[in-house]
A and B are shown apart, each in its own frame.
Chain A
Amino acid sequence: MGKKRTFEDTMDDPSKPQSASPIVAMFEGFRSELDEHHDRRERVIKASRDITAASKKLIFSLQRVRKLNHPIPLFVVKANAQYWQTIESQYRAISSDLQRLNAYRYRSNITGGNQEFMEALSFQHYLETQSLISYEEAGHRIASMGGEGGSVLLTPEDYILGIFDMVGELMRFAITSMATSGKLPGGESRRQKHPREETSGGQDADKMELDRQVSGQDEQKPPRRDVLADLRELRLHLEGFDPPLGEKFADDVDKKIVVMRQCVEKVETALYGLVMRGQERPKGWIPDLTEQRRAPEQVEGY
């Protein structure tokens, strides 16, 4: 860059002999400011990518959880410890870059990581408590990881878009559970099935017997919801949410809402299949059902 300065110096302007160097000095000032800005931006982008990758791994492990409304099993906690650590150290590393003015300046660079982490965080929260984590709680969670640099901002946009993605995880969770254990996680659906089983299933509903025992414990408590009920409820709230028109956020919501509806429908379709074949199962007519009957035993023995 020094080359430029000599170029300037040799330029000879009779009307303003001093003009070149002040301009160069001025631009040198700008260069260092812009370099700082670009470096900060790069750091944030990199951290966002790492947070995204670690959050995806968190979700991957969490998908191995089978019990809803229980503490996360130890093997998942152990597997995920390193990813939590990665996420925390990434947030801590960039928190000082995202203070005051810069909180919003780089929000488009960190939003990817925030959304993915939001997805993981809300999914885990759901598995543990069968409820949706609040914006405040999620915000505190991320803020607390900022460490000495200050807290990292979670915008309502990050939160909402993360929750939209979490619907996909709930879908996967519900369908995997149905495939492996032949039932929808959560208690409510079992209760509803009772009358039907009694009238149609009859004496040879050996597997159903087991389910009934499980649901029998719930009967003293208030009726429990299953994942599908929760998905439908979440869908209502997300559909009821009205994003500001003409913003990029609104476009994102429009796209995600389509995917979300598909996710809910997939679970509904899967449940339909389960109910249909579930009735036929005792008769043993359909060959692949023998496999489905074995599967739950494996899981329970797990």
Chain B
Amino acid sequence: MAERYGMVNPAIFEDLQARVDEDTTVRDELRDIIQTLEKQSRSVQFVLSRAHSTLASAIPEVVTAAEGSIENEVETILKLSQAASKLPYYKWNAMWSRQIQDAAFGILFCGWLGGYTPKGSEAKPGRLLTIEEVGEIMKIPVNLKGVDSFHLTIEEYLQALISLVDELARLARNSVTLGDYRRPLLISQFIKDLHAGFQILNLKNDALRRRSDGIKYRVKEVEDVVYDLSLRNLVPKAGEI
């Protein structure tokens, strides 16, 4: 091999360019899928937002509609998962993490309203879907450690839980407006439990920490609603439930 080039073997930069160009192609492909997911996620939120203006008796209809539109999302997640499983997960994870969090939130909220009830049991509000259940609904594995494949991370699930807390605080007030005085109690207990859960975590100064700091304010907001109700003797007795 004679010295046919100077200091730099041109092949070095040709190869590197090819590598980053390949990444660009991958990114474009993923972006299309993720945009679809984002659109579908918006329509799920659209359906679920009806819960704020729907009496408890009519909630099952909202839930059924939401489950239907979540199914579309799951199809897209499957596509994403197939495309992404060929790639190093954390190299690309930031691209879709937000959208997956939103999808997980939709599923969690739907589950809380009484969706995804296991066969044979009665649908009732207030259920917390575990990360495993959310993963099952999304048809993707969760919290992978060994295998480098597409999955739902703990951080994403926790972010979705925080969104759920925000949404439920809003629902507590709106329930009262609808004349439902029982739901705020259920919500209050539910988000207190989650708040206690989050306090167990040793969070570093990251995105999760910043958002989870807001949970205590949601707890207080809902406590205020419950306080307003109890002050006026509107809290249903345990026997009435």
List A residues at the B interface (Cβ < 8 Å).
Answer: 1, 4, 7-8, 11, 13-16, 19-20, 23-24, 26-28, 30-31, 33-35, 38, 100-105, 107, 126, 130-132, 134-135, 156, 159-160, 222, 225, 229-230, 233-234, 237, 240-245
A211 to nearest B CB, angstroms? Answer: 22
Tell me whether B6 is interfacial, beta carbon within 8 Å: yes
Task: Report the separation of the CA atoms of residues A225 and B185 in the bound assembly, to the nearest whole angstrom.
Answer: 80
Which residue of chain B has its CB nearest to the CB of A246? Answer: B27
Question: Are the CB atoms of A101 and B148 closer together than 8 Å?
Answer: yes
User: What A residues does B117 contact at CB under 8 A?
Assistant: none
User: What A residues does B158 contact at CB under 8 A?
Assistant: 30
User: What B residues does A130 contact at CB under 8 A?
Assistant: 7
Question: Are the CB atoms of B204 and A38 closer together than 8 Å?
Answer: yes
Majority SS at the chain A contact face: helix
User: What A residues does B203 contact at CB under 8 A?
Assistant: 34
Determine which of A107, A237, A244 lies in contact with B13 in the assembled complex, contact meaning CB atoms within 8 Å. Answer: A237
User: What A residues does B128 contact at CB under 8 A?
Assistant: 19, 23
Determine which of A26, A30, A156, A230 lies in contact with B20 in the assembled complex, contact meaning CB atoms within 8 Å. Answer: A156
User: What A residues does B20 contact at CB under 8 A?
Assistant: 156, 242-244
Binary interface encoding of chain B residues 128-142 relative to chain A, with 1 for a CB under 8 A from any of its CBs, else 0: 101100000000000
Determine which of B17, B146, B155, B196 lies in contact with A4 in the assembled complex, contact meaning CB atoms within 8 Å. Answer: B196
Task: Report the separation of the CA atoms of residues A7 and B193 in the bound assembly, to the nearest whole angstrom.
Answer: 10
Determine which of A131, A233, A241 lies in contact with B16 in the assembled complex, contact meaning CB atoms within 8 Å. Answer: A241
Task: Report the separation of the CA atoms of residues A154 and B12 in the bound assembly, to the nearest whole angstrom.
Answer: 15
Question: Are the CB atoms of B9 and A101 closer together than 8 Å?
Answer: no
Binary interface encoding of chain B residues 1-35 relative to chain A, with 1 for a CB under 8 A from any of its CBs, else 0: 00100111111110111011101100100000000
Question: Are the CB atoms of B9 and A131 closer together than 8 Å?
Answer: yes
Tell me whether B241 is interfacial, beta carbon within 8 Å: yes
Q: A34-B154, A243-B20 are in contact. List 14 more A-B contacts (CB 8 A).
A: A20-B193, A100-B147, A101-B89, A101-B90, A101-B145, A102-B90, A104-B90, A131-B7, A134-B9, A135-B16, A160-B16, A233-B6, A242-B17, A242-B20
Of residues 175 through 212 on chain B, the ones whose CB sits less than 8 Å from some CB of chain A are 186, 189-190, 192-194, 196-204
User: What B residues does A38 contact at CB under 8 A?
Assistant: 202, 204
The 9 A-B pairs at the shortest CB distance, nearest first, are namely A27-B197, A104-B90, A230-B7, A105-B90, A104-B91, A14-B238, A13-B189, A27-B200, A104-B88
Tell me whether B143 is interfacial, beta carbon within 8 Å: yes
User: What B residues does A16 contact at CB under 8 A?
Assistant: 126, 189
Determine which of A24, A28, A33 lies in contact with B154 in the assembled complex, contact meaning CB atoms within 8 Å. Answer: A33
Tell me whether B83 is interfacial, beta carbon within 8 Å: no
Task: Report the separation of the CA atoms of residues A14 and B188 in the bound assembly, to the nearest whole angstrom.
Answer: 13
Question: Are the CB atoms of A8 and B196 closer together than 8 Å?
Answer: yes
Which residue of chain A has its CB nearest to the CB of B16? Answer: A156
User: What A residues does B10 contact at CB under 8 A?
Assistant: 237
Task: Report the separation of the CA atoms of residues A165 and B2 in the bound assembly, to the nearest whole angstrom.
Answer: 29
Which residue of chain B has its CB nearest to the CB of A231? Answer: B7
List B residues at the A interface (Cβ < 8 Å).
Answer: 3, 6-13, 15-17, 19-21, 23-24, 27, 88-91, 126, 128, 130-131, 143-148, 154-155, 158, 186, 189-190, 192-194, 196-204, 238, 241
User: What A residues does B199 contact at CB under 8 A?
Assistant: 4
Task: Report the separation of the CA atoms of residues A34 and B27 in the bound assembly, to the nearest whole angstrom.
Answer: 28
A286 to nearest B CB, angstroms? Answer: 33
Whether A34 contacts B3 in the complex (CB less than 8 A), given A15-B126, A100-B147, A242-B17, comes out as: no
A291 to nearest B CB, angstroms? Answer: 32
Question: Are the CB atoms of A230 and B6 closer together than 8 Å?
Answer: yes
User: What B residues does A33 contact at CB under 8 A?
Assistant: 143, 154
Task: Report the separation of the CA atoms of residues A1 and B196 in the bound assembly, to the nearest whole angstrom.
Answer: 10
Question: Are the CB atoms of B201 and A34 closer together than 8 Å?
Answer: yes
Task: Report the separation of the CA atoms of residues A38 and B203 in the bound assembly, to the nearest whole angstrom.
Answer: 9
Determine which of A14, A26, A105, A242 lies in contact with B130 in the assembled complex, contact meaning CB atoms within 8 Å. Answer: A26
Which residue of chain B has its CB nearest to the CB of A28? Answer: B200
A302 to nearest B CB, angstroms? Answer: 26
Question: Are the CB atoms of B145 and A237 closer together than 8 Å?
Answer: no
User: What B residues does A103 contact at CB under 8 A?
Assistant: 88, 90
Task: Report the separation of the CA atoms of residues A28 and B198 in the bound assembly, to the nearest whole angstrom.
Answer: 9
Question: Are the CB atoms of B186 and A15 closer together than 8 Å?
Answer: yes
User: What A residues does B11 contact at CB under 8 A?
Assistant: 134
User: What B residues does A102 contact at CB under 8 A?
Assistant: 90
Can you show 27 pairs from A to B with CB atoms below 8 A apart? Answer: A1-B200, A4-B196, A4-B200, A7-B196, A15-B186, A16-B189, A19-B126, A23-B196, A24-B197, A28-B200, A30-B158, A30-B200, A31-B201, A34-B202, A38-B202, A100-B148, A101-B147, A104-B91, A132-B7, A135-B16, A156-B16, A222-B3, A225-B6, A230-B6, A242-B21, A244-B23, A244-B24
Which residue of chain B has its CB nearest to the CB of A105? Answer: B90
